Amino acid sequence: MPSPDPAQPARQRQFNFIAISRWLREPLLHFLLLGAALFVAWSYFEPGPTPDETATEIRLTPDDVLAMWSFFNSQWQRAPTPEEFSRMVENKVREEVLYREAIAMGLDKDDTIVKRRMAQKMQFLAEDVAAAYEPDDAELEAWYAANADKFALPGRISFRQLYFSPDQRGQQAHSDAQAALDTLAGQAVDTEQAASLGDAFMLQDYYADRTPEQVAKEFGPVFAQAVFLAETGSWQGPIESGFGWHLVFVDSFIPGRQPAFAEVAPEVKTAWLAQRKTEAWDKAYDEMRARYTVTLPVLPESADAMPALPAAGGDQALQ
């Protein structure tokens, strides 16, 4: 049986010392110890609260301290200094003081903004429950198959256009564009002659890698549909837009396609989660709504029977 190494206990003690030293240097530990020390000192020097004092007591819990520290660390990627942490605590206290004073004054009653905010918090709670569920790939793939159209990649096109202005040419704009098309038959896209045949255009002459939606936004849906049906590598037209008439030369066209699940897995998960949150909130609201009855006043059958509003600037009451 091998004899024990006499140096092993010393190395173990050295390792333990290094580990403890690193742990003691953690900023979070410093703040927790500081908070504990302040709490003990406060408890020793201050008497416990009386029943009347409890209503005005603001007590920060260790969870509050940890939440503030974690929030600062996530924002600034470092621990707060004692001065910064002190300001955070005072801001928290200030918020609580003002909140309680507002409640005491009844400012939460019949306030549209407060009601809307509390309604939003109820919705967030229901959505958070749905977000806690983590789907597996099989579930996401099945959902993707049922909603594949939402992730279809649109076609893309690159083209140059020559513009023929109705403002400058009047009714001749279309026939001039047709004549220019005959002149440009078989010519390259970037000839000087091509540039000289059209009119100045307020937007661009060349559009690269555009989707149907992007082209429609610039020229209108009719123009976009015609451009995506045009042949590649030759001048085509005339094609009408909201601006006038155009000849187009399509450089390249990439047809749309349906991506594989692996290509869009993160986007699928995001969309799946959004739908799940919506469904969870709709279900939760329906259950809450079922507990209430709503009484409405008898409403007029037409707008003419509605009460008249007072004149602007007047103090006349509703009729």
Among 6-10, 90-94, 297-301, 302-306, the range of highest mean pLDDT: 90-94
At residue 211 the predicted structure's pLDDT band, cuts being 50, 70 and 90, is very high
pLDDT, position 174: 94
The confidence score (pLDDT) of residue 70 equals 86
Same domain, residue pair 38 and 96: yes
pLDDT given at position 158: 96
Least confident of 144-148, 201-205, 306-310: 306-310
Q: How confident is the model at residue 187 (pLDDT cuts 50, 70, 90)?
A: confident
Same domain for 25 and 86?
A: yes
- In which domain, by residue range, is 239 found? 154-254
Region 178-206 average pLDDT: 82
pLDDT band at 128 (very low <50, low <70, confident <90, very high): confident
In angstroms, the CA 229 to CA 155 distance is 11
Percentage of the chain modeled with pLDDT above 70: 75
Q: Which two tokens stand for residue 159?
A: 């083209």
C-alpha triplet 62, 65, 69: angle, nearest 5°: 140
Q: Report the range out of 173-177, 199-203, 280-284, 301-305 with the highest average pLDDT.
A: 173-177
Say which DSSP state 264 is in: S
Greatest mean pLDDT range, 34-43, 99-108, 122-131: 99-108
Residue 4 banded pLDDT, cuts 50, 70, 90: low
Please tell me whether residues 276 and 134 are part of one structural domain. yes
Residue with tokens 């564009």, as numbered in its chain:
177
Report the CATH number at residue 170.
3.10.50.40
**Token pair for 105:** 């004054």
Q: pLDDT category, 310, cuts 50, 70, 90?
A: low
CA distance 208 to 189: 14
Residue 303 is assigned to a structural domain of this protein: no
Residues 118 and 102 both lie in one domain: no
Answer yes or no: is pLDDT of 226 > 60: yes
| 297 lies in some domain | no
Tell me the Cα Rg of the chain.
36
- Which one has a higher pLDDT value, 196 or 42? 196
Measure the CA–CA gap between 237 and 231, rounded to whole angstroms: 10
Q: Is residue 307 part of a domain?
A: no
CA torsion 209→214→218→220, rounded to 10°? 120
C-alpha distances in Å from residue 113, one per residue of 49, 102, 110, 121: 35, 14, 9, 12
Flag whether 317 is in a domain. Answer: no
Residues 227 and 93 in one domain: no
Using an 8 Å Cβ cutoff, are 85 and 68 in contact? yes
Q: Could you tell me whether strands 156-164 and 245-254 are parallel, antiparallel, or unpaired per DSSP bridges?
A: antiparallel
Residue-level pLDDT at 16? 47
Q: Is residue 314 included in any domain, yes or no?
A: no
Q: What is the pLDDT of residue 111?
A: 80
Is residue 222 within 8 Å of residue 245, measured between CB atoms? no
Q: How far apart are CA 313 and CA 319, in angstroms?
A: 16
Residues 125, 270, single domain; the answer is yes
> Distance between CA 17 and CA 4 in Å, rounded?
22
Does one domain contain both 271 and 141? yes
When divided into structural domains, the chain yields a total of 3
**Do 257 and 153 contact (CB within 8 A), yes or no?**
yes
* 306 falls within a domain: no
The answer to the question of residue 210 being in a domain is yes
Q: Which two tokens stand for residue 201?
A: 């255009």
CA angle 13, 19, 22 (to 5 degrees): 140
Q: Are residues 29 and 169 in the same domain?
A: no
Tell me the average pLDDT across 18-26: 48
Helices assigned H by DSSP within the chain = 8-24, 27-45, 51-54, 62-76, 82-104, 112-131, 137-146, 166-169, 172-184, 192-197, 212-219, 221-229, 265-289
Mean pLDDT score of the chain, rounded to an integer? 79
pLDDT given at position 45: 42
Together in a domain, 105 and 250: no
* pLDDT at residue 252 in the model: 93
Contact 187, 197 (CB under 8 A): no
Q: What percent of the chain has pLDDT over 90?
A: 31
- The answer to the question of residue 296 being in a domain is no
* Residue 101 pLDDT > 50: yes
Mean pLDDT is lowest, of 92-101, 117-126, 189-198, for 189-198
248 and 190 part of one domain: yes
49 pLDDT band, cuts 50/70/90, is very low
Distance (Å, rounded) from C-alpha 195 to C-alpha 23? Answer: 73
User: Cα(173)–Cα(246) distance, rounded to whole angstroms?
Assistant: 9
What is the total residue count of the chain? 319
**Strand-strand pairing, 235-240 and 245-254:** antiparallel
* Position with higher pLDDT, 219 vs 30: 219
| Pair 101, 229 in one domain | no
- Of residues 78 and 301, the one with the higher pLDDT is 78
Phi and psi at 76, nearest 5°, equal -115, 0
Same domain, 186 and 161: yes
